Amino acid sequence: MSCRLLFVHGWGCGAGVWRPLLRFLPEIEADILDLGFFGRPNLTIPTQHPFIAVGHSLGFLWLLNQLDNEIFAKQCLGLISINGFSRFSFSHDFPHGIASRILKRMTLRLTTEPVEVIREFGRQSGLEQALSIPARVNVEALSLGLSWLAQWDQRTQLTQWRGELWALASEDDQIVTPALTRDVFAQCQPGVIHWLPSGGHLLPLTRPETCAALIADSIKTLP
């Protein structure tokens, strides 16, 4: 594998969410960003080489937000969405989005029960065992992430993207529902979504080998 990858995790996770997946890609060269939910953030986008950008959930939305950056757009050869989306919150033209009251309630609870909010997120995501939560929880960063979920709308950036695009989603995802996923990618090329019958919302943890296989196959399609 000669193509380098850029990974961005989702809300309630850290850079370690990619560890199980990377075990199936031992020869890969990767840059792993960190949104800082459990420690110091690392958001330095590499500029010295092209890459395929892989985002899980909020991480994919974050990557789409970078497409307005000319340097990022030039270096990015392809985008891979895992449980991802270009918009998350409900609006009159996005009826399958998540109600703002849910995100507001999570934001309020973060100030008093951050660990329980994250554990509940893990349960709703379909994990059979509790999420491993580091000792340091950055409530401010987690709250900022929820504000991105509530406010960001990158649907235009996704539909205008002319590079390679792949998406992996689960039919039993209770966070990013199949209806939401279909709405997000409806204007993209047919067949862009690879569906799994199960796995929930945290596919990098519940289906790491499948995620790795999609990534490996995507690299093979590049010239």
- The CATH number that applies at residue 52 is 3.40.50.1820
Helix H or strand E encompassing 52: strand 51-56
| Per-residue pLDDT at 164 exceeds 90 | yes
218 band by pLDDT with thresholds 50, 70 and 90: very high
- In sequence order, the 6+-apart residues with CB closer than 8 A to the CB of 182 are 193
C-alpha angle 123/107/9, rounded to 5°? 55
Domain count of the chain?
1
pLDDT in tens, 175-187: 999 999 999 999 9
Domain of 215 in residue numbering reads as 4-221
Residue 128, pLDDT score = 76
